[in-house]
Amino acid sequence: MSDAVELKSLIGGDWREGAGAAIESTNPARPGEVVARGRAVLPADVDDAFAAARAAAPAWAATPLHARGEVLARAAAIIDANAEAWGAELTAEEGKTLAEGIGEVRRAAAVLRYQAEAGNREQGSVFASPRAGEQILVTHKPLGVVGVVTPFNFPIAIPAWKIAPALVYGNTVVWKPASAVPLLAYRLASALHDAGLPAGVLNLVLGGSALGDAIVDHAELDGLTFTGSTGVGRSLAGRVAARGVPMQAEMGGKNASVVLADADLDLAAEQVLFGAFRSTGQKCTATSRLVLDEAIAEDFLDRLRALLKNWRVGDPSSPASDMGPVVSERAASDIAASVMQAVEGGARVVLGGEAPEGAFLAPTLLEMPAGAAGEENLAWNEEFFGPVLSIRRVSGVREAFEVANHGDLGLSCAVFTRDIATALSAVDGIDVGMLHVNSESAGADPHVPFGGAKRSGYGPKEQGLAAREFFTHTTTVYLRG
Ligand code: UN1
């Protein structure tokens, strides 16, 4: 990367230099390299952002759905045209590999293209009336001003899949991205601004958690969408629910890959490798639990270890690297400390487990102790958000599903089997929002619902048509001529 990019916030259609603390995003793979810098805005600027969003809301809501979609389609074209450059910036800022960085930027464009088509889909419904001469219509209307709070790990795709449906369904937005990845937020906001989004429809506030608090507690907030940790999500939900403000939260996962005795072991090993270690394990959908039928456990682990021998950890901007660092040195040392704690609780290091080098961690396999100690081990229950995979052995399908279901999270799960009846039994037997049969636990297509079961999700799901449920409310119209 060359010179650091100068960042600005976007408020009321103008790029605003903050008057708050200096903000700087740095490259986790290259100590000292500054990727972007600027100044945080102040909570008072968040007031301006809400005032602008409120003022822009009526005209934007009155803009035809097709015309709102056209703005998103133009932004998608801008994003696609910049995919390589912005993908490289994403890699420099977040640490995922260049292929993943470029892939994510293209994914953001795909999400915008999907939502841009909302005007060409059925919107609302008509019911028969029990009374003569009447029809009953159900129409969708925007919530108003929506707060968007996004995490570091998908700095453009997750914001895109929140902001695109928010906008296309006629809401205006105040958005605070994670402070580790302001550059990609600035790129997405620029694309939408340059695509002709009217002033005040999207407001970007760059800075620290005080801005998130200012959004969450703002009197003008009509809805809040959040992706991040379970702890933060729950506390935000409590704050907004107390004021009757709806919230959508995508939170933690402790996602299992279940490899059954009849699985294609080569396929399963490859998919577990991708699920656990792509993006350095920093996905809420990453595989962090491995449930192995004891009949194939050794055989499977041999194959996984063989694949990991060729798994190259290094500078993510090099095409030779399969895995980059985690997002920061701090994150790496927190994850390493959690691994040590898991080992103190009886976990056995099968592979990796070395001290971090800067923000780099080795892929780590931990075998849980047998019985209750395994079920209670930190590494079986806590989301480390890094390249750590915790293993338990089971006997048979029933125990495998039980072990995979343990705990109160239920985001996604992968089941490996050649038997269609077993695969079908997983649909009811495993309590998750996304079930993958013979493919890795991560991944999300723009046109289908995304979100968790149990305590992984709160409020309506994201993506696809499902997104409309959160970003609109309905008006039921009893219509007589
Ligand atoms: C994916 O699996 O590709 O924060 C997307 C996350 C999820 C998105 C996962 N909300 O990791």
Residues 184 and 86 in one domain: yes
The ipTM, to two decimals, is 0.95
Confirm or reject: Cβ of 193 under 6 Å from ligand 1: no
Residues 236 and 202 in one domain: yes
Model pLDDT for residues 279-288, shown as the tens digit of each residue: 999 999 999 9
Residues 237 and 259 in one domain: no
In three-state form (DSSP H/G/I as H, E/B as E, the rest C), the secondary structure along 393-437 is EECCHHHHHHHHHCCCEECEEEEECCCHHHHHHHHHHCCCCEEEE
Query: What pTM was estimated for this model as a whole?
Result: 0.97
Averaged pLDDT score across all residues of the chain: 98
Residue 274 lies in a domain: yes
Model pLDDT for residues 443-472, shown as the tens digit of each residue: 999 999 999 999 999 999 999 999 999 999
Distance 394 CA to ligand 1 centre (A): 28
Residue 389 lies in a domain: yes
Q: Which residue has the tokens 């750590």?
A: 388
Q: Is 128 exposed, middle or buried (0-12, 13-18, 19+ CB in 10 A)?
A: exposed
Indicate the Cα dihedral angle 253, 258, 264, 270, nearest 10°: 30
Residues 473 and 439 in one domain: no
Residue 450 lies in a domain: no
Active site (annotated) includes residue 100: no
pLDDT over 70 at 47, yes or no = yes
Model pLDDT for residues 187-238, shown as the tens digit of each residue: 999 999 999 999 999 999 999 999 999 999 999 999 999 999 999 999 999 9
Residues 298 and 311 in one domain: yes
Residues 223 and 261 in one domain: no
The number of folded domains in the chain is 2
Residues 151 and 268 in one domain: no
Residues 247 and 192 in one domain: yes
Query: What pairing do the DSSP bridges indicate for beta strands 134-142 and 125-128?
Result: antiparallel
Query: What pairing do the DSSP bridges indicate for beta strands 364-367 and 348-351?
Result: antiparallel
What percentage of the chain reaches a pLDDT higher than 70? 100
**d(Cα 275, Cα 278) in Å, to the nearest integer?**
6
Residue 451 lies in a domain: no
Residue nearest to atom 10 of ligand 1 (CA): 284
Distance 254 CA to ligand 1 centre (A): 13
Residues 40 and 81 in one domain: yes
pLDDT, average across residues 328-352: 98
Q: Which residue has the tokens 């107390």?
A: 242
**Which amino acid makes up residue 79?**
I
Place 2 in a pLDDT band, splitting at 50, 70 and 90.
Answer: low
Model pLDDT for residues 294-322, shown as the tens digit of each residue: 999 999 999 999 999 999 999 999 999 99
Distance of CA 245 to the CA centre of its chain: 22
Residue 378 lies in a domain: yes
**d(Cα 37, Cα 40) in Å, to the nearest integer?**
10
Spatial neighbors of 372 by CB under 8 A, at least 6 apart, are: none
Residues 325 and 352 in one domain: yes
Residue 111 lies in a domain: yes
Distance 410 CA to ligand 1 centre (A): 14
**d(Cα 293, Cα 282) in Å, to the nearest integer?**
26
Model pLDDT for residues 142-155, shown as the tens digit of each residue: 999 999 999 999 99
CATH number for 390:
3.40.309.10
Confirm or reject: Cβ of 283 under 6 Å from ligand 1: yes
Confirm or reject: Cβ of 160 under 6 Å from ligand 1: no
pLDDT over 90 at 1, yes or no = no
Residue 388 lies in a domain: yes
Residue 422 lies in a domain: yes
pLDDT at residue 263, as a whole number: 98
CA dist list (Å): 364 to 90, 354, 386: 25, 8, 9
Residues 388 and 312 in one domain: yes
Structural domain boundaries, residue 406: 255-445
CATH number for 39:
3.40.605.10
pLDDT over 80 at 8, yes or no = yes
Instruction: State the closest ligand 1 atom to the C-alpha of 228, by its place in the atom list counted from 1.
Output: 4
Place 3 in a pLDDT band, splitting at 50, 70 and 90.
Answer: confident
pLDDT at residue 396, as a whole number: 98
**d(Cα 27, Cα 92) in Å, to the nearest integer?**
5
Residues 157 and 188 in one domain: yes
